[in-house]
Structures are given as C-alpha cells and as structure tokens.
Structure 1
Amino acid sequence: MSTAPSSKKILIVEDEKDILQLVKLYLEKEGYRTVAAMTGTEGLRLVKSERPDLVILDLMLPELDGLEICKKIRTARETALLPIIMLTAKAEEADTVVGLELGADDYVTKPFSPKALVARVKALLRRVERSQEEGPPRYLYGDLVMDLAKHEVTLNNREVPLTAKEFGLLEHLLRNSGRVLTRDVLLNAVWGYDYYGTTRTVDVHIRRLKQKIPLLNDAIVSVKSLGYKLKERDG
C-alpha cells in the first residue's frame, strides 16, 4: 500500500537561496514536508537528525561538497539506502559521473524545471516503495540465484556455500549491478561503519567469491583507484 506524499520528508541541501526556496515551494505544493540546509555540514547533520525519506543534494556546497556528503551517506549503515538526487551545473559533468559512482540515484542539471524535479522525486520514491513492498528479493545473474529469504546462493541449481561476509558482499554487488562501488562503500556496507580493518579485506573476499563462483571471474571488474563493479546482465 502506497504512502501518501504528505508523510514523506525531503531534505534539500542547496546554497543558492532562490533555488532552495523554489524547490521547497514546489515540493510543499505537492504535499511533501521539507527541511533545508545551505551548507554541506548542516546538510549532513540534518540527514542524521531528521531522517529524511529523500535528499536533494547540490554538488557545489560550502564547507562540505555534495560528493563528500554522498559518500558519507552511503558508507553509514543507517543511511546506506537513502535515495539521493544530485543537482549539478552543466560544467560539472565529470563530477556528476563520480556522484553516480558514489551512489547518487539520479541527477538534475541546472537550470532545471521545478516540476521536472518534483516528477523525479515522485518516481524515485515510488521505486523505493515498490522495492520495500516486494520484501526480500531474489537476485538472478545468469545461472546464479541469490534468495535473501532463504539466505541461499545457487549456481546451476546447486548451492554455493558462502560465509556471512561473502554473502553480504555478493548481495551488495548484485543490488548495485552496473554501478561502481568504492572499497570504502563495500567495507562499511558489509563489515560495518565501526570496522577498523583495511580495504584490503574487500580485495581478499572478492578473490574468494571468484574462486567459489567462476561465473564472477569476468563479471566483477576492478575499477582503477576506485573499487569494483558487477557488469550488468539480463537475468
């Protein structure tokens, strides 16, 4: 059952006052509750204290930029799945790509139509709701099947024994298929934000996954200086 828009809280982090007020106005006209920040530091504080349902995040901000905020949101377990729409200027295209790699769900280029932004917000929240309603999913990747309800991975209908960390790592890769995930993001998502090991741990577990599931040898690619990506695949 869908939740009414009025129950959804949107955090807007934008240092241009006119844009901030315009976005706020259009969202509130649609029944959303809004909270706002004009600096990166304040935005990150509100992510933690207000627990918004979605963040609209400007790329260029004073004190802490949008990329750094996006990274911090994605590496904290309690906010790892928080939907993020990034606002960028056309000249910041390269940074937009990095933002998507760090985990932003969508981006809008300035100047933009407030109505179009609200439509993106609605679409992203609907996608999140559908995902939550469907419950624990099954991930299919060729002949590989991950069943979260059974906590089981099979390849060609034969179960593959994985440790808890290997299972968590594979789940995160499958859930973000096609997206570059940094070692820090993987480390914090699977081992936890308070884990004090090194990112070398991720490399070791990726190697073990490839040994246990040969299908992943070519499917998981290393992205230089960043991390890993599971190639997108149909089925």
Structure 2
Amino acid sequence: MAYRILIVEDEPGMIELLTVALEDEGYEISIASNGEQGLKKVEHEDPDLIISDVMMPDMNGYDFCQQLRSNPKTAAIPFIFLTAKKDVSDRVRGLNLGADDYISKPFHVVEVVARIKTLMMRSKRVRPNQSSSPMPETEAAFAGDLEKMSIGEVVQTIALTRKNGRLIVVNGNRRGEIYFKDSIVTYADVDRKKGEEAVYRLLSWKNGQFKFDSGATAETPNIRKTAESLLMEGMRRLDEYYRLLNDFPATDSALEALSLTEGDLNPEELQVLNYVNQYSTVIDVIDHSKLGDLKTLQILVKLQTNNIIGVRSGAETAAEAESMDYDQLAEDLFG
C-alpha cells in the first residue's frame, strides 16, 4: 500500500506542484486548505506524513502542528513545515512546536522528496498491511543545503532549540563537525583546524550540505563556549577578513620572501614567514597555519606592508584587478 501524505496548503499552484512531484514518487496525496480541514483529514485518513504551510486562513500551520502534537494519537506523525517564512525565529518556533523539518520557499522539489524519504525511513511509520508493532519515536534529521540556510542560521537554530548532538557539514571532499550540549559547543573540527578556529572557518562556508544527528556526544571535548558567543565573534572575524582581503593579493597568488631580516620579527611572524617559504600561495599558507585564519592573514598583510614578502612576478593583486569578486575571494579562502 502506498504511503499517504497530507498537504495542508492554500495556494493552488503550490498544491499542484507538490501533488505532481509526490505522485510521481508513488505517494498517495490528500489535500486540506487550512489547519481545521487538516485536523479532520488526519482523523479520518491517518496520513503517514504531513506537509504544511504556516500562513493559512482559519487555522495557521503553527496551531495545526501544536494540536497534532498535543494529541497522543497524532503526536508521532512526521511533520514538515514548507513556508515562505525564513526568519530564524520562525524556524525555531516551528521546531519547538514539534515539527520534524522546516523547509523555506523557494525550494527544489528533489530536496523536498529527499527529506520526505529520510523522514519515512527514520520514523518507520507502520502501514495496516505491515507489522502491528508500535512505531518507535525517533527524531528525524535536521538537514539541508547551505545555499538556503547559512551555517550561522543552522548553529543558531540548534542552540535556540537546545538540541544535543553533532552537526556534520560537507563541502565536496571537505567535512566539518560541531558538537552541541545544551546550547554549548563542546567540540569542533574541520580541515586542519580544531576548537574555536574550526567553528570560525565553518561559519564562512557558503556551499555544502549539513545534517544534525541528535544524541551524539564528543569523546574528547576541545572547546566549551556558548554558540551565541562563537557566532558573534565569528561574524566580527568575517568582517575583518573582507576588510583585509580588499587590498591583498588573490588567494591563489604565489608569495615569496623579499627580506631576510628575521631578527626584527616576533615568533608568530617568523612562523608565518616559514609557511610562505613552504607553501607559497596565500590560501595554502592560511590553510596550513596553526595560528588561525584571521591571525595568519593579519600577519601576511603586515609582512607585505613591510616589504618582507611580496607577490611573485605575474601575480595579480585585488587592487589591480578590474572586477575582483571579494565574496568569491572569501569563499576560495575559507569555504
């Protein structure tokens, strides 16, 4: 028997789009135009999953979800908000009410289908012709694409809902992890960075996918700070990155040492100069440095200003480029 999905939506175009896409996947679709109709449909049809808008007449999606979660007979039905409301506070409200997922419009249909399949597998919803054993109350994954929800928004959502577990972020062949416990970040790791520096680097990623696994704990914590404090410091650092990159060589530019006045340099500056001799390009120097991304970039700027390092012949600086994209520069460097 096909799985039944209830769509609670008042926009005909959206209903048609979802219906066509989900029926093509083999799902049986039922429609309600507001929360009140949705409650009646749930009572008579027992859907396997519900997709609901937020802003609807008579009864909005929040009230609809709250009533479902307060009823033991309907509390475990997987529930997805699909809405134009994009603010973090709206997302947090929906998740706090018990929604399993929150997808903002506009969206890709393939993403919605993938989220539905994930929820179905995790909830193991029982059909009448299957085993009559009770459905396990497992929590669905909080997952998505960084182009639709930034890392900052993801971290803030997890912290505000006080979820405990592991955030996994994947960007091509790169992978980062952040562990949370009661709004406290306890562990972070990405590339060669760990702890706070790993969080700051992840905050600058603009592309990739994320997934939150509830319940996972860090075996060896390497940080203990509130997510809020890390976000505030991370945003401050990003602003500084952009400012420094404005007059600095492109991240793939090759650097070289111009002066050997090592006696005038402090240990950190000597360390960065050594990285320049080893790795050459701006992006490689920052990636391998143990001083942190911002600190390393600050030292590189100072060394260049003092003519201790320079760009190899033929390399282009940002100031010389006619149409340098600084967002792309930051993305090349950090994400």
Superimposed CA distance per residue, residues 88-137 of structure 1 (whole angstroms, 9 cap, x where no aligned partner): 21444422211100100001100111111111101110111299999898
- Contact 1:177/1:232 (<8 A) preserved: no
User: TM-score normalised to the size of structure 1?
Assistant: 0.54
Q: Which of residues 194, 210, 217 in structure 2 aligns to 1:234?
A: 217
Q: Counterpart amino acid of 1:18?
A: G
Aligned to 1:78: 73
State the shift of 1:76 in Å: 0.2
Structure 2: which amino acid aligns with 1:127?
A: R
**Of residues 43, 50, 53 in structure 2, which corresponds to 1:58?**
53
C-alpha distance in structure 2 between counterparts of 1:63 and 1:50, whole Å: 21
**Which structure 2 segments of 5+ residues have no match?**
139-160, 165-180, 183-213, 219-335
Match for residue 10 of structure 1?
Answer: 5
Choose the corresponding residue for 1:20, options 15, 21, 40: 15
- 2:30 maps to what in 1? 35
Match for residue 47 of structure 1 among 42, 45, 62: 42
Tell me how far 1:62 sits from its aligned partner: 0.8
Taking the aligned partners of 2:163 and 2:55, their CA distance within structure 1 comes to: 26
Q: 1:15 offset after TM fit, Å?
A: 0.8
Kindly state the Cα deviation for residue 49 of structure 1 after the two structures are TM-superposed: 1.2
Residues 12 and 100 from structure 1, CA distance in 2 versus in 1: closer, same or farther, beyond 3 angstroms? same
> What TM-score, normalized by structure 2, do the two folds share?
0.39
1:38 Cα deviation after fit: 1.2
Given that 2:95 and 2:101 are in contact with CA atoms closer than 8 Å, whether structure 1 keeps it comes out as yes
> For residue 64 of structure 2, what is the aligned residue in structure 1?
69
Q: Which amino acid aligns with 2:76?
A: L
**Structure 1 or 2: larger helix share?**
1
Structure 1 counterpart SS, 2:5: strand
User: Deviation above 2 Å: which 4+ runs of structure 1?
Assistant: 90-93, 130-137, 176-179, 231-235
What corresponds to 1:189 in structure 2?
Answer: none
Equivalent of 1:127 in 122, 127, 131 = 122
**Higher Cα Rg: structure 1 or 2?**
2
Amino acid of the structure 2 residue aligned with 1:234: T
Whether the 8 Å contact between 1:12 and 1:55 is mirrored in structure 2 is: yes
CA RMSD of aligned residues (A): 3.3
Provide structure 1 residue ranges, at least 5 long, that are not aligned to the other structure. Answer: 1-5, 140-175, 180-217, 220-230
1:122–1:178 CA distance, 2 compared to 1 (3 A): same
How far did 1:178 drift? 2.8
Q: Deviations over 1:20-63 (max 9, x none)?
A: 11001100000000001112211121111110000001111111
* Structure 1 CA distance for aligned equivalents of residues 25 and 114 of structure 2: 10
Aligned 8 A contact 2:53 2:82 in 1: yes
What is the CA–CA distance in structure 1 between the aligned matches of 2:114 and 2:9, rounded to whole Å?
19
Which structure is richer in relative contact order (CA contacts within 8 A, separation 6 or more)? 1
Kindly provide the amino acid, as one letter, of the partner of residue 80 in structure 2: I
Identify the match of residue 103 of structure 2 among 74, 88, 108.
Answer: 108
Q: Could you tell me whether the CA contact under 8 Å between 2:7 and 2:31 is conserved in 1?
A: yes
Q: How does 1:182-197 map to 2 (within 5 A)?
A: none
Aligned-pair identity in percent equals: 41
Distance (whole Å) between structure 1 residues aligned to residue 17 and residue 40 of structure 2: 22
Which residue is 1:178 aligned to? 163
How far did 1:234 drift?
A: 2.6
Tell me, in whole angstroms, the C-alpha distance in 2 between the residues paired with 1:49 and 1:81. Answer: 16
CA contact (8 A) 2:54 2:60 kept: yes
Structure 1 residues 130, 78: closer, same or farther in 2, change over 3 A? closer
